[in-house]
Amino acid sequence: MDNAIIFPGQGAQEVGMGKSLFENSESAKDIFLRADEALGFSLSKIIFEGPSEELERTINTQPAILTMSIACFEAYKSMHSLEVSEIARFCAGHSLGEYSALVASQAISLEDGVKLVRERGRLMQEACDRVDSGMAAIIGLEEDAVQEICKESNTQAANINSPGQIVISGLKSDIDNAVKIASDRGAKRAIPLKVSGAFHSYLMSSALSEMNEAIKNVTFNNSSIPLIANCSSKPMSNVSEIREELSEQLCGCVYWQRGIEHMANEGITTFYEFGPGKVLSGMVKRISENSITHSVSDYESLINLQPEN
């Protein structure tokens, strides 16, 4: 089997996502209802009806994307009567998506997953509110060149997504300086992003203590298939590795490109993206151009996708 499953992170959300799955797949509907019950309010109503301002709140966005992603995955599993180990050799998720991958690989329950990422969202927003910070995308420069710009501007590489596409984090004034330097050095584009703060940077450190406590209070299991960690880009499956990764990931860089390269080097040729949007599929094609990508984001894409051996 040469397949891997991948899950998107924050930014892929939109009002109405997953509604066709809720209406047509009992397995997907069950996921949405279980998430509502675990959280004690109707997250599914916010997902399906909005308003967008409510869905865009980080405290809601994170459990919403996880729930939607797992609904897509469970609908696919149910339709084809497959277990996760029969679908893929590896799983991975981009930032928040790493938590979806943990639920999919049975390392954590859906209920604990949605509660943990809601707390993650709350803590990250509080950290963002403490300082005027942000992120920027640097397009068209090599990783070494961007890392040098980060040193000069006191910013930090946050997401190394694909060749020539890197996101940096830092104080707003430092981000503005980094954008100017990158433009001067030939970046195709250097643009501040519309985010609430400097995710995956030292500026999240004020949230780390409470996040570690939340992680400590959750029951984890060894994952049923290896998960490629965001920070190390290497497979992990046991509980201690998972806890350490989730702690490190809050302030550390997401090395997405390296993770996809690792899987490709291990013989993975087909990537299934479960959740809103197709951003990760696009990244995969830029990293490993011969790879095949499929995505499930609604009922139509679910019924059109047949499993590959």
Active site (catalytic) residues: 95, 200
Beta-carbon-side half-sphere exposure of residue 70 (alpha carbons within 13 Å): 29
Give all strands of the β-sheet with 165-171 in edge-to-edge order.
156-162, 165-171, 133-139, 189-192
Of 191, 178, 188, which is closest to residue 148 (Cα–Cα)?
178
Contact 108, 116 (CB under 8 A): yes
How far apart are the C-alpha atoms of 251 and 120, rounded to whole Å? 12
Contact 158, 200 (CB under 8 A): yes
Beta-carbon-side half-sphere exposure of residue 213 (alpha carbons within 13 Å): 7
Helix (H, G, I), strand (E, B) or coil at 183: helix
Of 154, 123, 134, which is closest to residue 197 (Cα–Cα)?
134
Of 120, 101, 128, 25, which is closest to residue 63 (Cα–Cα)?
120
Amino acid (1-letter code) at residue 98: E
Contact 74, 31 (CB under 8 A): yes
How far apart are the C-alpha atoms of 268 and 183, rounded to whole Å? 36
CA 128 from centre of chain: 19
